[in-house]
Amino acid sequence: MTILDKVLIGKIYDAHGIRGLVKIKTFIQNPKSFCDYTPIVDDKDNTYDIEFKNITGKPDIIIAKLNNINDRTSAEQLKGTLLYTNRSSIINDDNDILINELKDFKVIDENDNDVGIVKDILNYGAGDILEIIMQDNKSALLSMNEYSIKEINKQKEYIKIDRTHMLES
């Protein structure tokens, strides 16, 4: 799997119990389907067979069994391990786009005026927020919802927005 194909889908958060189970913080929409993605690899391209066991009290954290991990000590050594899958395991349509692929997209308003460039995509739990570096090098934030985002054009790499929803610094 090349670096361009890798998509971060989770992180081993902690050990769980004494039989080698781990808690995985998931970065996907449906945490229960985490184990359906294959292959799942780490930064060193080690492959993991992962079996879903349960959801914790937090909806984005699952309890899972990893291949050949049978005790708490082994599970604790994996704490902090980032888990990836192939982009093709997540996206089936060439028109689909992952949220992190919006970085560096041009931002224009409804009148096709340049606004700036997407610097980052933030998420503090209430939804995705675009951080935009504007033409005057000031930054602005824009919540990604049906009111503020009018169009995302993957081929031409731009996002058309309703500027009235933007918070400028």
Instruction: Evaluate if residue 1 carries a pLDDT over 50.
Output: no
Higher-pLDDT residue of 101 and 12 is 12
For strands 106-109 and 82-86, give the pairing. Answer: unpaired
Nearby residues of 90 by Cβ (< 8 Å), 6 or more positions away: 7, 9, 28, 37, 98
CB 115 within 8 A of CB 133: no
For strands 158-161 and 106-109, give the pairing. Answer: parallel
Q: What is the pLDDT of residue 87?
A: 82
pLDDT tens digits along 101-148 = 899 999 999 999 999 999 999 888 778 899 999 988 999 999 999 999
Q: What is the pLDDT of residue 69?
A: 94
Query: What number is the average pLDDT over the span 159-166?
Result: 92
- Confidence band, pLDDT 50/70/90 cuts, at residue 95: low
97/74 Cα distance (integer angstroms): 36
Superfamily of 6-90 according to CATH: RimM (2.40.30.60)
| CA 29 to each of CA 21, 35, 79, 115: distance values in angstroms, whole numbers, following the listed order | 22, 13, 22, 30
Sign of the CA dihedral running 156, 152, 133, 11: negative
Instruction: Evaluate if residue 4 carries a pLDDT over 60.
Output: no
Identical fold for domains 6-90 and 99-168, yes or no, is no
| CA 59 to each of CA 32, 55, 86: distance values in angstroms, whole numbers, following the listed order | 9, 7, 23
pLDDT tens digits along 38-88 = 899 999 999 999 999 998 888 889 999 999 899 999 999 999 999 999 887
**Residue 62: what residue type?**
I
Domain ranges of the chain: 6-90, 99-168
- CATH number of the 99-168 domain: 2.30.30.240
158/42 Cα distance (integer angstroms): 32
